[in-house]
Structure 1
Amino acid sequence: MTANDVVRLVDIREVPLDVAEVVAALEDHAAGGLTLFVGTVRDHDGPAPAAGEGPAPDKPVTSLDYSAHPTALARLREVCERIAQEYDVHGVAAVHRVGHLELGDVAVVVATTASHRGEAFTASKALIDTLKSEVPIWKHQRFADGDEEWVGLP
């Protein structure tokens, strides 16, 4: 099986994400497990610490916006293909939301299938961690006190 056969769904969208779509894209009778990660907008976050300082206390978040570089979709596909090559998986899917999101909205859904749960868990963790570190998607947070912060900028 090639990485193209294994990578089943990759997208960046301005519309709400559907977890059921991701699960359906990975349906495979050879897979004994599907591991799914759903990232949602939480009601708090700490602003990035200043140089040399420890983490700041959490602040209430009211909403956020995600923006993506024009190359983000291609980079996301590259990450998914790399996971497909590096792990013994049957399927890989990753969908990220852009635009304005409210508390509780789904921001990202990633999933992998494998013959055994251990490989699915390991591959899904690698997928979300690599997506967060390598795909140029940035978060603009709005806090209840009126402060704003960009997260993930280069």
Structure 2
Amino acid sequence: MAQAADNNPTKPLRSYQHLWTDTNGISHVARCPVSNFFLKSMSPPAGPQWQDPMEPQTATVMMTVQPRHWNGAWHPDPKPQWIIPLKGRWWVRAMDGTRVEMGPGDILFGEDQDVRPMTDGPYKGKKGHDAGNVGDDEVTLLVIQSANPPERNKPCRYH
């Protein structure tokens, strides 16, 4: 039986984690809303779906599989990149100590390329972020690396 069309659908609200760098070269993680959706068909006659497109850019798309018990150690992301876990759970810790765990369907935008080593505190000498797998399984990630340069001190710049 066909479902009746919703003539007044509610605009969705989604979010992503943004690993960003401040003007002092310290990385942080912010939870960012995504709310600029509009209804449009991606390819008529397909029905409309909520979309919030970004500016066009050159990007490399890859899938990675982190082995069981993978530990990323402290490092900056190689390029601004979107990371979407497909299978398993992993975590990221910024230089300010903020730690987030992500699983399938969560989204992280890693933009900590312009970091500087910490001068004191528990992460003295560290820069970028620390990361690792949660549990005993491999973690499969979809990674979309942008050719655009990183931007400093702009948390939640995609919304």
Asked if Structure 1 and Structure 2 have the same fold, meaning a TM-score greater than 0.5 normalized by the shorter chain, the answer is no
Q: Higher helix share goes to which structure?
A: 1
> What is the TM-score with the length of structure 1 in the denominator?
0.27
Normalising to structure 2: TM-score of the pair? 0.26
